[in-house]
């Protein structure tokens, strides 16, 4: 059965960890510098809640990005994400280290990315995912192409889809109702 014929539940069954790129996934991919030369980033609040719900469900979440930004450290700290690797243009070796530290194997990992440096990781993990506005080669590599755009809640869309497929979403809805 090819990847596109598998159900969401089949895809999600073995996933224990999400590794995410930042620019183009957690943000809209724009790099903005203010008048003082400081970089700013916009993060979507629903992504933040989704990440917290994912981790509350007992799963791991990590950030893996080619760039380095204090804004990423700040956002990770706000969300309780301790697995953060910045400044890794060659992402696969960094992903291997991160998986080892999180106690998971490649087939247990979902990776979401939007551009060419993400493809080597996407080709090795259990579930590869791309935002709707990802580069063409990334979308063609991905098992799942999401409806949302990078920086506009696409991580929440992914996490909700995974948790629903695993029968865990409703418990979060009940707790907040």
Tokens of 106: 């490649």
Contacts of 152 (CB under 8 A, 6+ apart): 28, 44
Residue 21 annotated as binding site: yes
Q: DSSP character for 82?
A: -
> Helix, strand or coil for residue 60?
strand
Pairing of strands 39-40, 32-33: antiparallel
* DSSP-assigned letter for residue 3: G
Distance CA 134, CA 29 (A): 10
The closest alpha carbon to 98, from 79, 114, 81, 113, belongs to: 81
47 belongs to an annotated ligand binding site: no
- The vertex-82 CA angle with 127 and 40, nearest 5°, equals 90
- Rounded distance between C-alpha atoms, residue 121 and residue 118, angstroms: 6
The binding site for Mg(2+) comprises 21, 114
The binding site for substrate comprises 23
The binding site comprises 21, 23, 114
């Amino acid at each position: 059965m090819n990847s596109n014929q598998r159900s969401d539940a089949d895809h999600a069954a073995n996933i224990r960890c999400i590794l995410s790129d930042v620019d183009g996934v957690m943000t809209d991919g724009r790099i903005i510098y203010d008048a003082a030369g400081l970089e700013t980033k916009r993060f979507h609040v629903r992504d933040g809640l989704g990440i917290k719900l994912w981790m509350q469900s007992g799963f791991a979440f990590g950030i893996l990005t080619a760039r380095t930004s204090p804004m990423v450290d700040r956002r990770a700290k706000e969300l309780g994400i301790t697995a953060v690797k910045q400044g890794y243009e060659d992402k696969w070796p960094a992903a291997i280290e991160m998986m080892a530290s999180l106690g998971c194997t490649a087939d247990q990992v979902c990776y979401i990315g939007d551009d060419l440096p993400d493809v080597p990781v996407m080709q090795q993990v259990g579930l590869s995912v791309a935002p709707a506005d990802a580069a063409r080669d990334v979308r063609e590599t991905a098992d799942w192409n999401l409806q949302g755009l990078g920086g506009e809640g696409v991580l929440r869309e992914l996490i909700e889809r995974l948790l629903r497929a695993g029968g865990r979403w409703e418990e979060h809805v009940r707790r907040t109702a």
